[in-house]
Amino acid sequence: MFCFFSILFLGFPAISYVSSVIETKSEHSNPTRIDQTDVLLGDLSENPFLGSGLGNTINVVTEYRDYTDNIYFELQAFYFLNQMGVFYFIFFILLNVVLCIHFIKYSSLFAAYLGYVFYAFFNPYFLDTTHIVVILVLISLRRFFDEKSLYGFSDLQCRYRRS
């Protein structure tokens, strides 16, 4: 009975808070992200394969923001795409995947990493310091799984199965 009243007592404020955050994001953050995507992809269209170069700034003023000499964007992944171009961005993604398969090796940890990257792709956290911490934690978990043989085979057996 106590749990029911606790959930009831805490549930309504939580629902109210979540709905206000969603409303605020839909009014301000999402239109800004759409605007930034249009600006970055528009600039990328000038040289789509090789990009505009690292440190590229965009001198555009829109309804939502003045982008003149700005290097901060909500969707950092699109900013990297704008700078690196499609060719180097795909190369970077493939290199990331190959290194993850090699160093992380367990599909559950790889899925966790892909989930993090997918989340970070749509936020300003793409390739920030947290990204390095996530990789270190996943590699440490892999080593922990290997030492405890949690998946039923040792690290040596995994290396043997790959070759």
Percent of the chain with pLDDT over 90: 9
**8 Å CB contact between 83 and 53:** yes
- Of residues 63 and 17, the one with the higher pLDDT is 63
Query: Model confidence at 82, in pLDDT bands (50, 70, 90)?
Result: very high
| pLDDT tens figures, 28-76 | 677 888 898 899 999 998 888 988 888 888 888 988 888 888 888 888 8
Weakest mean pLDDT among 30-34, 140-144, 148-152: 148-152
In the numeric block, the tokens 């947290």 are attached to 130
DSSP H stretches of helix in 26-128: 30-44, 76-103, 107-121
* Dihedral, CA of residue 70, residue 72, residue 75 and residue 78, to nearest 10: 50
Question: What is the mean pLDDT of the segment spanning 84-90?
Answer: 93
CA-CA-CA-CA torsion sign (72, 91, 47, 117): negative
The closest of 2, 78, 1 to 34, measured between CA atoms, is 78
